[in-house]
Amino acid sequence: MNNDKDNVIYQLKGMPKIKEAIPLALQHVAAMIVGCVTPAIIVAGTGGLSPADTRILIQAALIISGIATLIQLFPPFRKVGSGLPVIMGVSFAYLPTMIGIVSDYNIATILGSQVIGGVVGILIGIFIKKLRKLFPPVVTGTVVFTIGLSLYPTAIKYMAGGAGSENFGSPMNWIIAMITLVLVIFFNNFTKGFARLASILLSMIIGYVIALFCGMIDFTTVQEASWFMLPAVGHFGYEFHLPAIISMSILFVVNSVESIGQFSALSVGAMDREPTTDELSRGLMGNGVSSIIGSIFGGLPTSTFGQNVGIVVTNRVINRVVIGFAAGFIVLAGLFPKFSALMMTIPYCVLGGATISVFATITMTGVKLFMQSELTQRNATIVGLSVALGIGISQVPGAMEQLPAWIDSLFGESAVVVSTLSAILLNLILPKNTPFESEDL
């Protein structure tokens, strides 16, 4: 890691050199763009949307992600936007609920519920000062740790070629994934300067070229994509159904807790400090506002992207202009479909090989967070049991299928939700200052 703290790219404010900013920004775009559009693709498929409507949903996902990022970076209002260097994107956390809603109703119901959920997110942000006592380092560290662990299966599936692909688990996928991973390790540990800063981007470029020569990349979607397309305002409309509103609102509450973990991971890992209560409040309100704005274009709910938090933590480039360039490229990807189509040709094995180290960084940031507190029996129970329940339940398909459907949807597939709620409850219930004795193990 380059320790030249006088370089403006390591400072929150200031104008960096364009030749440094653009490659670092593209690294963020490459890391998030597939994950950003995937929920839209899945929801569109579940809802039986036409190809034209699917393109609108994908376009809106990119545009609102860029707008949401800019709101966080450069708050347009005094109380909206954290000012922290985060990348926002359409969140997988909402996906199970959105699939249920679009199956029972339609896209308009998702967007209507999203408006109410956004209001809930804003209220959480307003009252976060009173609620923050529920989230000491042992809780937020547990959340961040679980986030990292829960991303590992995604990375492994990517390395194997992407779940559902015809060549899933093929030797070629694993060879290219491992080459990409080795390159990340090499650039991170054996190089200096730009090569080290842009380790993810450089590794993905090399992996992409190798995959191209191996015949793994199809440019058909790029050829078929149009050059320019404006967002379709109000195309899907709004519908409001109480069960959908309740489900979405619960997810916004849970996602607010996850966002606190992400903000904490970034601040601790890249800025060597905890986020202030004001930053958390403005960040959560910014996400609520972004989700409401996104519903106008058909953009699905947004949240902080863990892989991009990991990149910032890894290279410690916190300059808001660098992240702002990334946000601009994301918006452009939505306005110019050929660009987004090109980014989507990146093979999953390349993405997996590049991002698994990022997920590992997030995990270890969680460890750094909860280790700020003394290792007592109480804290060991909070972390260990919460992670065990979250990861354990999520790894056993059908473990909650005999329970009401909303419980299975909310808890059965989300390790982060279970671990978060478990950590909060244990932190409130367990007696304070219980000494940790080795013989208790």
Summarised one tens digit per residue, pLDDT across range 210-234 is: 999 988 888 887 787 778 878 878 8
Residue 207 has pLDDT above 60, yes or no: yes
Residue 49 has pLDDT above 90, yes or no: no
In a domain, residue 438? The reply is no
Q: Could you write out the three-class secondary structure of 247-311?
A: HHHHHHHHHHHHHHHHHHHHHHHHHCCCCCHHHHHHHHHHHHHHHHHHHHHCCCCEEECHHHHHH
In a domain, residue 440? The reply is no
Cβ atoms within 10 Å, residue 439:
4
In a domain, residue 176? The reply is yes
Q: Could you write out the three-class secondary structure of the chain?
A: CCCCCCCHHHCCCCCCCHHHHHHHHHHHHHHHHHHHHHHHHHHHHHCCCCHHHHHHHHHHHHHHHHHHHHHHHCCCECCECCCCCCCEEECHHHHHHHHHHHHHCCHHHHHHHHHHHHHHHHHHHHCHHHHHHHCCHHHHHHHHHHHHHHHHHHHHHHHCCCCCCCCCCCHHHHHHHHHHHHHHHHHHHHCCHHHHHCHHHHHHHHHHHHHHHCCCCCCHHHHHCCCCCCCCCCCCCCCCCHHHHHHHHHHHHHHHHHHHHHHHHHHHHHHCCCCCHHHHHHHHHHHHHHHHHHHHHCCCCEEECHHHHHHHHHHCCCCHHHHHHHHHHHHHHHHCHHHHHHHCCCCHHHHHHHHHHHHHHHHHHHHHHHCCCCCCHHHHHHHHHHHHHHHHHHCCCCCCCCCCHHHHHHHCCCHHHHHHHHHHHHHHHCCCCCCCCHHHC
In a domain, residue 2? The reply is no
Most confident of 9-13, 66-70, 237-241, 409-413: 66-70
**Structural domains counted in the chain:** 1
Question: Which amino acid is present at 369?
Answer: L
**Per-residue CA distances from 421 to 208, 275, 427 (Å):** 40, 21, 10
Most confident of 129-143, 276-290, 335-349: 276-290
Give me the residue label for tokens 């800019």: 70
Residue 396 has pLDDT above 60, yes or no: yes
Q: Under a CB-based contact definition with an 8 Å cutoff, are residues 109 and 236 in contact?
A: no
Confidence at residue 229, expressed as pLDDT on a 0 to 100 scale: 79
Kindly state the percentage of the chain with pLDDT values over 90.
23
pLDDT band at residue 1, thresholds of 50, 70 and 90?
Answer: very low
pLDDT band at residue 438, thresholds of 50, 70 and 90?
Answer: very low
Confidence at residue 5, expressed as pLDDT on a 0 to 100 scale: 59
Residue 380 has pLDDT above 80, yes or no: yes
Q: Give the pLDDT confidence of 234-283 residue by residue, as tens digits.
A: 888 898 988 788 878 877 877 787 788 888 888 988 888 888 889 999 99
Residue 116 has pLDDT above 90, yes or no: yes
Q: How many angstroms separate the CA atoms of 150 and 386, rounded?
A: 13
Q: Tell me the residue range of the domain where 388 lies.
A: 10-429
In a domain, residue 392? The reply is yes
Residue 42 has pLDDT above 80, yes or no: no
Confidence at residue 69, expressed as pLDDT on a 0 to 100 scale: 95
Residue 436 has pLDDT above 60, yes or no: no
In a domain, residue 436? The reply is no
Most confident of 129-138, 261-270, 322-331: 322-331
Residue 362 has pLDDT above 50, yes or no: yes
In a domain, residue 4? The reply is no
Report the chain's mean pLDDT, rounded to a whole number.
83
In a domain, residue 142? The reply is yes
**Per-residue CA distances from 45 to 55, 106, 307 (Å):** 12, 12, 25
Between 56 and 120, whose confidence is greater?
A: 120
Residue 433 has pLDDT above 70, yes or no: no
